Structure 1
Amino acid sequence: MANTNLAAEPRSETGKGVARKLRAAGRIPAVVYGHNRAAESITVDARELERLLGRISAASTVVELGLGGGTARTLIREIQRHPVRRHILHVDFQELVAGEKVTVNVPLVFVGTAIGVREQGGIFEEVMREISISVDPASIPNHVDVDISKLTIGHPLHVRDLQLPAGVTVLDDADATVCSVAGSKAAASEETTAASPAEPEVIRQKKAEE
């Protein structure tokens, strides 16, 4: 499980006008919510947040928010960005409670070289880059390793085939394809040529015409 820290400050005023002033001052309006607390309006430093997002996986990293002399263990649930300029407009943080499972998306890391690529000349195709899981906050994995070394052409790997840490429940369709190895176009062309021999030249017709 990946952890990081971020300083925050409470705010009492809300509204679009207040949010614009905060962003102009280098602060990002945000909110913290959870089952055991009322939603609380806060602000975070814009540059610090951008640097943080540049080095973590926001969907699966626990953010320790320093707030009012204490800390709150949270997950970033939503990041609103300007549709054109792409700067951050607002962030939602969900406070985590020990023993209460959360739903997160974690990246897949493909390990090894598939037999279908190494020995059969195929092309590796990555269908899914992450999976959705239900897990206790204390056991959120940084990623899930996917061993593709035994993957051959025409035999894809499915969600049900993934090896997951204890306590992790996958929410994606068990039959969904994670990755596969497809035959190369060159190999397919060679197979087609071999399966379809050239037609013999018609000699008798030519002689009859002569």
Structure 2
Amino acid sequence: MQLEFNANKRDGQGTGASRRLRRTGRVPGILYGGTAKPQQIDIDHNELFQLLRKEAFYSSVLNVNFDGKKEMCLLRDVQRHPYRPVILHVDFQRVDATHKLHQKVPLHFVNADVSPGVKLSGGMVQHVMSDLDVRCLAKDLPTFIEVDLKDMVAGHSMHVSHLKLPAGVEAVLHKGEDPVVATVIVRGGKAEEEVPVEAAPVVAPVEKKAEKKSEKTDKR
């Protein structure tokens, strides 16, 4: 998926300049990385707001139309207003097509409802990870990675090593690490049902009181 946006060169810097820029419906940002110097930019707020509603905008290689040419970049940071639907600032990093990049890619879980652990055992799929850090060239970067759960059984887990990654894409993990991606757990348990119910402890004291009362009657 090719996503692109338009940006203008920004000269003014500082809090006051950014505030004035936002009043005109523009969002201040920066484009950095690569061999070129960091460049202050601004983007139309409405255009950026709509793009940020797309999941792919966070993990795809983007094309920015800037200064009469296109540059490849990745979204690295978004600053939002605490409670208003307003974007305050964005950071983009330039991408070199000849060097591998690191990027977090979302995981899409499919076929959970037909897995033996859910369909036959009545279990529930628990997602341990929601995204995966990968390394690849810009042309190989996937929008998402599909996690097929059709063979998952109750009590078993799926690890990163079980994922089918696209060609040219590798997971970024520490040496010897193979974290859990998803697992199937079974709800409830029979142990609680098998615990016998104890007799009420108030029966014995009542009988003792009755005996004492009868003894007093006999003395009279």
Task: Give a deviation string over 1:34-53, Cα, whole Å, max 9, x none.
Answer: 12210001110001100111
Task: Give a deviation string over 1:72-99, Cα, whole Å, max 9, x none.
Answer: 1111111111223252111111111112
Residue 115 of structure 1 corresponds to: 116
The 3-state SS of whatever aligns with 1:37 is coil
d(CA) in 2 for partners of 1:29, 1:197: 64
d(CA) in 1 for partners of 2:196, 2:18: 73
d(CA) in 1 for partners of 2:173, 2:57: 20
d(CA) in 2 for partners of 1:38, 1:95: 10
d(CA) in 2 for partners of 1:56, 1:27: 22
Task: Give a deviation string over 1:162-188, Cα, whole Å, max 9, x none.
Answer: 111122121246432111111121xx1
1:58-207 map, 5 Å: 58-112=57-111, 113-172=114-173, 174-185=177-188, 188-189=189-190, 193=193, 196=194, 198=196
The letter of the residue matching 1:170 is: A
Residue 9 of structure 2 corresponds to: 10
Task: Return the index of the structure with the highest Cα Rg.
Answer: 2
The letter of the residue matching 1:120 is: S
| Conservation of the 8 A alpha-carbon contact between 2:52 and 2:58 | no
d(CA) in 2 for partners of 1:86, 1:134: 33
Unaligned runs of 5+ in 1: 202-210
d(CA) in 1 for partners of 2:85, 2:38: 26
Unaligned runs of 5+ in 2: 200-220
TM-score, normalising length from structure 2? 0.82
| Conservation of the 8 A alpha-carbon contact between 2:3 and 2:57 | no
The 3-state SS of whatever aligns with 2:49 is helix
d(CA) in 2 for partners of 1:42, 1:139: 27
Residue 51 of structure 2 corresponds to: 52
How many residues are aligned here?
195
The 3-state SS of whatever aligns with 1:90 is strand
d(CA) in 2 for partners of 1:141, 1:197: 52
TM-score, normalising length from structure 1? 0.86
> Greater strand share, 1 or 2?
1
| Conservation of the 8 A alpha-carbon contact between 1:59 and 1:104 | no
The 3-state SS of whatever aligns with 1:120 is coil
d(CA) in 2 for partners of 1:198, 1:4: 63
RMSD: 2.0
The letter of the residue matching 1:81 is: R
The alpha-carbon deviation at position 55 of structure 1 amounts to 2.5
The letter of the residue matching 1:165 is: P
Residue 207 of structure 2 corresponds to: none
